[in-house]
Amino acid sequence: MKKILIIGLIIIIAIAAILIRSAVRQQGGEMTEAVAATVKAVEVLKAPRGEIRSELQLSGTIEANSRVTVFPEVPGKIIQMDVDEGARVRKGDTLAVIEHAELALQVRQAEAAHRAAQTAFSQVQQLAEVRVKSQIDQASAQLTSAIVALQQVEDLSQTRTTSQVEQAQAGLESLKANLEKIKRGARDEDLRQAEAAVAGAKANLTNARNNHKRMKKLFDNGAISKQSFESARTQLDIAKSQSEVASQQLALIQNGAREEDVQAMEAQVAQAEAALKLAYAQADTKTWEKDRALAQSQVEAAQAALKAAEALAAAKSWEAEIIAAETAMEQAEIALDLAQERLGDATITAPIAGILSMRYLDLGGLASPAAPIFEIVDMDTVKATVSVIEADLSRLDPENQKAWIEVDALAQPVTGKISLISPTLNQSSRSAKVEIAIGNADLRLKPGMFAKVKIPVEIREDAILLPRSAIIEDSMKKTQTVFVVAGGRSNRRQIEMGLVEGSRVEISSGLSEGEQVVIAGQHTLKDGEEVTVMNP
């Protein structure tokens, strides 16, 4: 309205000047063109100081600060559903529960295995060292027993074989003598000899029985061979036979010999000769050497067992047992933790705080790890996402820059702060994604809204400012000028422009604060013309 009045005033002044010139010509007066010029009217503005900004004006979309789709970790029927769409949830709130009876049993099983592993570990800690040291004592006792057995074999084997030969030879001679006595008839001295033979045979039988017992013990302990043990049993049988023969001979001498008795005695002599040959054969094979070698090997085996037990003790092998038991306990503990975590997965909780924007299943539905159950959005803080071209990225400062965001749903713009500048550019648009965080406690901003974003990239707080319409630009000479009024006359002044914000321009040089700059009528002015200021 003010501009229309000014333009009208200028037109009136121009018409008046034309009428004056016409009157002068008609009346032949002396009025000149300079007189007409004195009536040029302009409007001026005292150059003020103020704040001006250079801004990036961008378009973008409002997005939620975070959007999380919740998937179940375990499959199963939903037995509890605690929230509906639109509900506000806190992080960790229970959203739903999946049937988990089998998972609870697996936890109990893992707990039992863990307790067993703990008990085994405790026992190993207490007994492992004692057991290893007791193995040393046991191996030492076995070595002592083997040495004693070897000594017995060495003491008995060759002597026993030799005595067996002598015993068999003596028995044969005695039988031959008795046979001769029977054939020629008994005498008193024969009776005494027969009685002595019976006593000797009984003594030999007793020795043979004792020897058989010792040899059986050595054989049972593995100290002698089976051949040696059977030889002792054979000698026992021979001693029994000799004792019976001696008793029979005594009876023959006492009762008198019959033909059948002589034949029986001859048979016994033949049997004694066979026993003597067996004794010689056993002596020739030197079975005692085999017995000694076997007993010696048992001593060496016992020595090796003792060394092994001592090595285990020296190496503290029980520590390895303890470590193994401890490892087993830790594995059982891990298995328990896994079972408990699996059971915990049956309870679905909110991973973030926010609004439940979607619920895909209802109570009684079948949950699957491949399908989502809920969607949660965090809208307490939203973000405006815009694209900034490569050339403007260097003008952004995430630490200090604020942004003004306008949306159609709000009467006033809201402020935000740059929260992210993408480290990479879009290859096709040569621009980077920039996110501006905006507080949204009242939830007025909704994801998906269209946003106009202004980001001040340069601010001058004490700049000389003019309306851009006051500047006369010469595109050919690439200059900018203004008219300054001083002493009632116009003065053309060349200036340099700085920042531009809408219709306002910063004057960086050529003008001082408070100078009167023509803002209306400047396009018809000439330098040095007299003007009339017609400010409203």
pLDDT band at 111 (very low <50, low <70, confident <90, very high): very high
For residues 375 and 92, give the distance between their C-alpha atoms in angstroms, rounded to a whole number. Answer: 14
Please state which CATH class domain 55-97+355-457 belongs to: mainly beta
Mean pLDDT of 200-222: 79
Specify the pairing of strand 41-46 against strand 366-367: unpaired
Q: Which CATH number fits domain 108-314: 1.10.3470, 3.40.50, 1.10.287, 2.40.160?
A: 1.10.287
Q: How much is the mean pLDDT over the chain?
A: 79
3-class SS at 376? Answer: strand
What's the confidence (pLDDT) of residue 159?
57
Contact (CB, 8 A) for 42 and 529: no
pLDDT digits (tens, 9 = 90+) for 45-72: 998 998 888 788 899 999 998 889 999 9
Which strand (E) or helix (H) includes residue 267? helix 259-285
What's the confidence (pLDDT) of residue 8?
53
What's the confidence (pLDDT) of residue 21?
52
Mean pLDDT of 337-346: 92
Mean pLDDT of 453-471: 87
- 205 pLDDT exceeds 60? yes
Give the 3-state secondary structure of 319-368.
HHHHHHHHHHHHHHHHHHHHHHHHHHCCEEECCCCEEEEEECCCCCCEEC
Mean pLDDT of 422-451: 90
pLDDT band at 259 (very low <50, low <70, confident <90, very high): low
DSSP structural state of residue 442? T
pLDDT digits (tens, 9 = 90+) for 126-157: 766 666 666 666 767 776 776 776 676 666 55
Sequence-distant (6+) residues with CB within 8 A of 72 are: 98, 345, 348, 367, 368, 369, 373
What's the confidence (pLDDT) of residue 315?
54
DSSP letters for 127-165: HHHHHHHHHHHHHHHHHHHHHHHHHHHHHHHHHHHHHHH
pLDDT digits (tens, 9 = 90+) for 76-97: 999 999 898 889 999 999 999 9
Range from 172-186, 205-219, 266-280, 428-442 carrying the lowest mean pLDDT: 172-186
What's the confidence (pLDDT) of residue 23?
44
What's the confidence (pLDDT) of residue 260?
63
DSSP structural state of residue 427? T
Q: Tokens in use for 250?
A: 């005594």
Question: How many other CB atoms sit within 10 Å of the CB of residue 327?
Answer: 12
Contact (CB, 8 A) for 415 and 402: yes
Question: How many other CB atoms sit within 10 Å of the CB of residue 363?
Answer: 11
- 414 pLDDT exceeds 70? yes
For residues 436 and 382, give the distance between their C-alpha atoms in angstroms, rounded to a whole number. Answer: 8
CA angle, corner 325, sides to 324 and 328, nearest 5?
A: 90
- 447 pLDDT exceeds 80? yes
What's the confidence (pLDDT) of residue 312?
59
For residues 226 and 232, give the distance between their C-alpha atoms in angstroms, rounded to a whole number. Answer: 10
DSSP structural state of residue 116? H
What's the confidence (pLDDT) of residue 28?
44
Give the residue with greater pLDDT, 324 vs 399: 324
pLDDT band at 488 (very low <50, low <70, confident <90, very high): confident
What's the confidence (pLDDT) of residue 373?
93
pLDDT band at 365 (very low <50, low <70, confident <90, very high): very high
Taking the alpha carbons of 441, 444, 449, 453 in that order, is the dihedral positive or negative? Answer: negative
Give the residue with greater pLDDT, 203 vs 27: 203
Contact (CB, 8 A) for 484 and 528: no
What's the confidence (pLDDT) of residue 94?
92
- 370 pLDDT exceeds 80? yes
